Chain A
Amino acid sequence: MPNLVAYLHVRLNLNIAEDAEIYQSLTKLPEGERSRMVRIALLAYFKGSFVSGERRTKRTKTRQAEIEPAERPRPIPSISPQPTPVASNQESQTTTKNSSEAALSEMLDLIQ
């Protein structure tokens, strides 16, 4: 278990003392299942799914919801770009150009 302890400390900055119960229950699982559950449970923990007193009661339900979403993922279309839509008039062309330039400007702002 030293690797798990290191993982919890370094990767998730998790306070082992506070979460000794979670840690102890994880150590009882078979190795493959344990590492899988550690990832799922701790990722959810890290993302803030478990909060203070609600953590223990909601843990199982939250984890299950993350493993099995209520709906199937929506179908994903092909990677090929769709044909360029034909603008009906000059105004729509201008609007499209302006909005795309604005979006581009926002995208480039992401460069630090």
Chain B
Amino acid sequence: MSHKIGMDLGKGHIKYQTATGTGEIPAWLSRGRITQVMGKGNGTGGIRYQDQEYIIGRDAILGNGFSWSATETKDDLRNLLFALYVLGSAGIDEVDMVIGLPVSAAGSPAAVERIKSLLNGTHECVIGEKPTSIIIRVGVLAEPLGTYFSLCLDVEGKPITSSPYFNELIGIVDIGYRTLDIIAIEGGKLSSAGKDSTLSGIAVLFSRVCKALEENHGMLRPHEIEKVHTWLTGGCQELIKIGGLPVRPDIPAEVARFKAEFAGQIMDEVQSLLSGIRPDRIVMTGGGAALLRNELIKINPDLTFHPNPRFANAIGFYRAAVARGRQNA
């Protein structure tokens, strides 16, 4: 039987949901091969594809040509490698997968076709030491629709007709790593207005904080940037060290100011893009919604936050894959 998976190919992390639960790996990639000197490792590792060795996830900082960026259309090889690694590690050899694209890219048939031709088909690879053949059939959604499906479909992919989200006109604001995506939807119908992507993802905030730190510590290395990201998402609880030196004690206050300003910027954009729609409610989702929740609520206490904003899209993609499987059965 074909497995189902919802996969959110984010710029910061790859998040996914299968029948057994959710998971994520950092969206990092390098070339090379890991040698485990001692211990059992941390669950991230390597993949061999088309005679090339790659290191996936946290261990990628140990390889050559470290990279962590992807295009907005997500149609580069790295996303296929992440998908194969996730599927192979989970022991899945045939899968119906649903993924998301930013709203702007999902509206382009050419962009959708490019990522489908990248992912669809039978792929031969080696995960760890195990040769694997993986068959992927992929469906593509605009990213915030994942959040909508997570609210309107149950785990079996059946519509939750009692859900207030099912019939209301709702605006969904997905604050991702690189982009902020907005859609408006009512009763399963996607509005053609109020639908857009902007470049106000939380990378804007991260880069501003990193820039402030670089004034004292010099240019940050990839693992230091990740350290800063983790520190920010954890609420800046304790002062971290960069290159062995503690960060300035006034940095948390500066971060708080950055966050408040950035939340204001986001709400300006949301208000502007949804002003012609006036939805019954605005649902905030994505990792940025989790990070900026307090600041956003201060600006608009009426916002609704998804209960699991970081995984909302992956959960919805999975439920959509299950629903489509039921429909086609």
> Is this pair of chains taken from one and the same complex?
yes
Tell me if B140 counts as interface (CB < 8 A to partner A).
yes
Residues of A within 8 A of B142 (CB): 110
Given contacts A44-B272, A76-B302, A79-B305, contact A111 B164 (CB under 8 A): no
Tell me if A82 counts as interface (CB < 8 A to partner B).
yes
Residues of B within 8 A of A44 (CB): 272
For chain A residues 35-85, which have a beta carbon within 8 Å of chain B?
35-36, 39-40, 43-44, 47, 65-67, 69, 73-79, 81-85
**Distance in angstroms between the alpha carbons of A83 and B303 in the assembled complex:** 21
Contact segment of B11-19, B212-220, B320-328: B320-328
Q: Which of A36, A39, A69, A84 has the most CB of B within 10 A?
A: A39
Question: Is B324 in contact with A108, judged by CB distance below 8 angstroms?
Answer: yes
Contact of B273 among A11, A43, A67 (CB under 8 A): A43
**Distance in angstroms between the alpha carbons of A104 and B142 in the assembled complex:** 16
**Distance in angstroms between the alpha carbons of A76 and B283 in the assembled complex:** 10
Residues of A within 8 A of B56 (CB): none
Residues of A within 8 A of B304 (CB): 76, 78-79
Question: Is A76 in contact with B275, judged by CB distance below 8 angstroms?
Answer: no
Contact of B275 among A69, A75, A84, A108 (CB under 8 A): A69
Residues of A within 8 A of B158 (CB): 104
Question: Is B281 in contact with A111, judged by CB distance below 8 angstroms?
Answer: no
Question: Is B275 in contact with A77, judged by CB distance below 8 angstroms?
Answer: no
Question: Is A79 in contact with B188, judged by CB distance below 8 angstroms?
Answer: no
Tell me if B40 counts as interface (CB < 8 A to partner A).
no
Contact segment of B22-30, B31-39, B263-271: B263-271
**Distance in angstroms between the alpha carbons of A76 and B305 in the assembled complex:** 11
Contact of B141 among A75, A82, A104, A112 (CB under 8 A): A112
Contact of B320 among A67, A101, A111 (CB under 8 A): A111
Return B164 CB to nearest CB of chain A, in Å. Answer: 6
Tell me if B162 counts as interface (CB < 8 A to partner A).
yes
Given contacts A69-B271, A76-B304, A79-B304, contact A36 B265 (CB under 8 A): yes
Question: Is A79 in contact with B306, judged by CB distance below 8 angstroms?
Answer: yes
Question: Is A100 in contact with B149, judged by CB distance below 8 angstroms?
Answer: no
- A-B pairs under 8 A by CB, number: 113
**Distance in angstroms between the alpha carbons of A66 and B270 in the assembled complex:** 10
**Distance in angstroms between the alpha carbons of A67 and B274 in the assembled complex:** 11
**Distance in angstroms between the alpha carbons of A74 and B307 in the assembled complex:** 21
Return B304 CB to nearest CB of chain A, in Å. Answer: 5
Tell me if B159 counts as interface (CB < 8 A to partner A).
yes
**Distance in angstroms between the alpha carbons of A78 and B168 in the assembled complex:** 13
Closest to B112 in A: A112
Can you name 20 A-B pairs with beta carbons within 8 Å?
A36-B268, A43-B269, A44-B272, A67-B271, A69-B275, A69-B278, A75-B302, A76-B302, A77-B164, A81-B162, A81-B163, A100-B159, A100-B166, A101-B159, A107-B323, A110-B141, A110-B190, A111-B98, A111-B324, A112-B139
3 closest Cβ pairs, A-B complex:
A111-B139, A103-B188, A107-B188
Residues in chain A within 8 A of chain B (CB atoms):
11, 32, 35-36, 39-40, 43-44, 47, 65-67, 69, 73-79, 81-85, 96, 99-101, 103-108, 110-112
**18 other contacts beyond A69-B271, A76-B302, A107-B323, with CB at 8 A cut-off?**
A36-B264, A40-B268, A43-B269, A65-B275, A66-B271, A69-B275, A73-B302, A75-B302, A81-B162, A103-B188, A107-B159, A107-B320, A108-B320, A108-B323, A108-B324, A110-B142, A110-B190, A111-B139
